[in-house]
Homo-oligomer: A and B are copies of this chain.
C-alpha cells in the first residue's frame, strides 16, 4: 500500500515537473494545477484571520511590499496591523494558532488559488509564512498583467532541522549580511541559523562577564549584545531558530589572546591571522576553565533563547602522536589524565565534553557538537553534527542519539549544486529502522569563512543553498537535477529582491578590477571558470585574514552556468550531431576564441587580471580546435583532420590565480570524437 502511494506520487510529480512551468523551490509535496488564473490589480486586499499575531502581520506586510515591488502595483493597504479580518479580501490567510519557535513545530500549509480568490490555511503562522513565500514564487505575468495560476498546494517539510551555518569567526560578517541571509533562508523555508561565533581568528560576541573576549579577541569586529538580540528577534519573525556555536576546546586562539589563563600552555597568545588547524586549546584539567565556561554560557543563554547550544568540539590538536599537542606538553594535564585513568587525549576531551554538557543542562540547553564528540559515555540527549561522513550520524541514530548531516553540504568547497542536491540525509538504502530514522533531524549547509568577505559571501551561499533547502524540505523522490537547475535560476534572481548580492557584487568586483573598463570580456571568462574546489585554494597560495578577496577567483562562482549549459550541449551533440546545436556551440566557441585578445587588452590597465591570462589563452586555443571539431563532426569539413594536443589539455587543466576552466573535459570530448573520425 505504501509503495503504491509513493509510486502514484512519483508519477504525479513527474507529470508536474514535465508539464507545468512552475518555478517553485523547495518544490511542494503536492501541487495540483487547475484551469484559470487569479489576476492581480490595484484593489488587491489581504486579510489575516484566525489566530492573528504580530509575526503573521509582519510576514503578510512583507509579502505585500514584495509583491508590490515586483509588479509596480500600488496596493491600498499599508502595514497589516489589524487584530481582526478585513472584509472582502482577495487573499485570506487562516492560521489556527501562533507557532512556537522550537524544533518540530508545525510548518505545513495549504494554498488554494482560484480565479476569484486565494486561500491560505495553516496550523501556525510559520506555515502561513511558508505559504506566502510559495505564493511569491507562483507569480506569473502576461501582456495583460500579473496573475497567480489556479492551483492547489499541500506542503510540509520532510526534515525538522534545515539549517545554514555562517562562520563569522574567520571573517566577520556584519549585521546586514546576517539579516539578508536570514531573508534568503526564509524564502527557501530554512529554519535554523547556525551561527559560528568564535574561532582562532576572532571572538565575535560582546561579553559583559568576560569583556576581554571581544575587546582583545576581535580586532573590534564583534556583535554587541543588542545586535545579537536584534538578529535573534529578526530571525524569530521569519520562523528561524538561532543556534550559537562557541567552539571549544580547540579553535580558541582568540579566547586565549584575551584570557591566556584558560590555555593549556602559557601565553601570551595573539589573534590568529592564518587558516588551518592550530594547536592552542583550553585546559580541560583545571576547574577555572569550567567556572569560566559556566559563567560565559550562563551569559550567552540570555541572548540565545533556543533550546540547542553548539560547543563545536572539532579538530582539537590532541592526537597522542603530536608531540606539540598542548595536552601532551602541560605536566598538570598529563598528571590529570593519569589520575583519571584516561587512556588518551580523546578520553580527556570526552571528560571535557561531559563537564560542558552538565553546564548546559543546568541552563536547560541541549548540547550539539561536531561528530568528534560522539562517545559511548555521552548522554543520549545530545545532538551530533556529522561533518566527516555519514558514519557518525548512522552510529548515533543506532544509539538513539539525534544528529544532523553537514557532510556533503560544505558550500565553502565550491562543488556544484547538484552534488549537494543529490546528497540525501536519509537515502532509500540507509541501514536504519523507522525509529532510528527519526533520529536524523535534518541537515545544515556550512559557509566556512576562510575565503569569503561580506562582499562575496552571498555568491557562495546563493543560489546553491536553495537546492540544499529543497533536499531538506521536499520529498526525497524530487531529485531531477535538470529541473532543479531550471528552477534555481528563477529563485536566484528572486533572492536579489531581499538585498542578497550574489549576482550584483561579482559585476561590481569586475568593474573594480578592470578600473571601470567594459566588463564583458571578463564576464565571458568568469562564466566558464570556477574557483578551485575542495581544499586546493589554500594549498596554492597562503591566505591570511587580511588577504584581498577581490580577485578573479572571488568573482568566479561555483557552478558556472554557461559552462554547465555548454557541457550539456556537447553531450547532446555527441549523441546526435545536428545543425542547430552545432551553431549554438560554434557561437559560444567563437566568443571564447576571440575573448582572449580582448581580455589581454583590458589587462594593460588592469594588471590584477594578469594571473589568469594563461588560462584565457588556453580557452581561446581550445575553442579554436573545438570549432574545427564541430565542423568535422557535423560533416561540414570532412577533409579536415584533428589531432588531440595533450599538452594543450594539460595546460588548460592547470589552475591559474586559483581558478580552473570548467569546460575542458567537454572540449576534449569534442576534439577526441572528431579526431577519431577518419
Measuring CB to CB, which residues of chain A are less than 8 angstroms from any residue of chain B? 65, 68-75, 78-79, 141-146, 174-176, 219, 224, 226, 273, 455, 489-490, 493, 496-497, 499, 501, 503-505, 507-508, 511-513, 515-516, 544-551, 603-608, 611
Contact = CB atoms under 8 A, between A and B. Distances in A.
Contact of A226 (B65, B174, B226): B226
A544 B79 CA distance: 12
A607 B226 contact: no
Given A496-B508, A516-B493, A68 B144 contact: no
B508 A505 contact: no
Contact of A69 (B74, B146, B505, B550): B550
Nearest to A550: B69
Given A176-B175, A516-B489, A607-B141, A70 B550 contact: yes
A607 B143 contact: yes
A605 to B, nearest CB: 5
Given A504-B504, A550-B70, A143 B604 contact: yes
B516 A608 contact: no
Given A504-B504, A504-B507, A70 B512 contact: yes
B608 A548 contact: no
Contacts of A75: 546
A550 B72 contact: yes
Nearest to A507: B504
B504 A490 contact: no
* Of A144, A146, A496, most B-chain CB atoms within 10 Å: A496
Contact of A219 (B65, B79, B455): B79
B608 A72 contact: yes
A618 B406 CA distance: 57
A74 B511 CA distance: 20
A496 B512 contact: yes
B512 A143 contact: no
Q: Which 9 A-B pairs have the closest CB atoms?
A: A504-B504, A72-B608, A176-B176, A493-B516, A69-B550, A68-B548, A72-B551, A78-B546, A143-B604
20 contacts: A65-B546, A65-B548, A69-B512, A70-B515, A70-B608, A72-B551, A74-B547, A78-B544, A79-B219, A142-B607, A143-B604, A175-B175, A175-B176, A176-B176, A455-B499, A493-B512, A493-B516, A496-B508, A497-B508, A504-B505
B604 A142 contact: yes
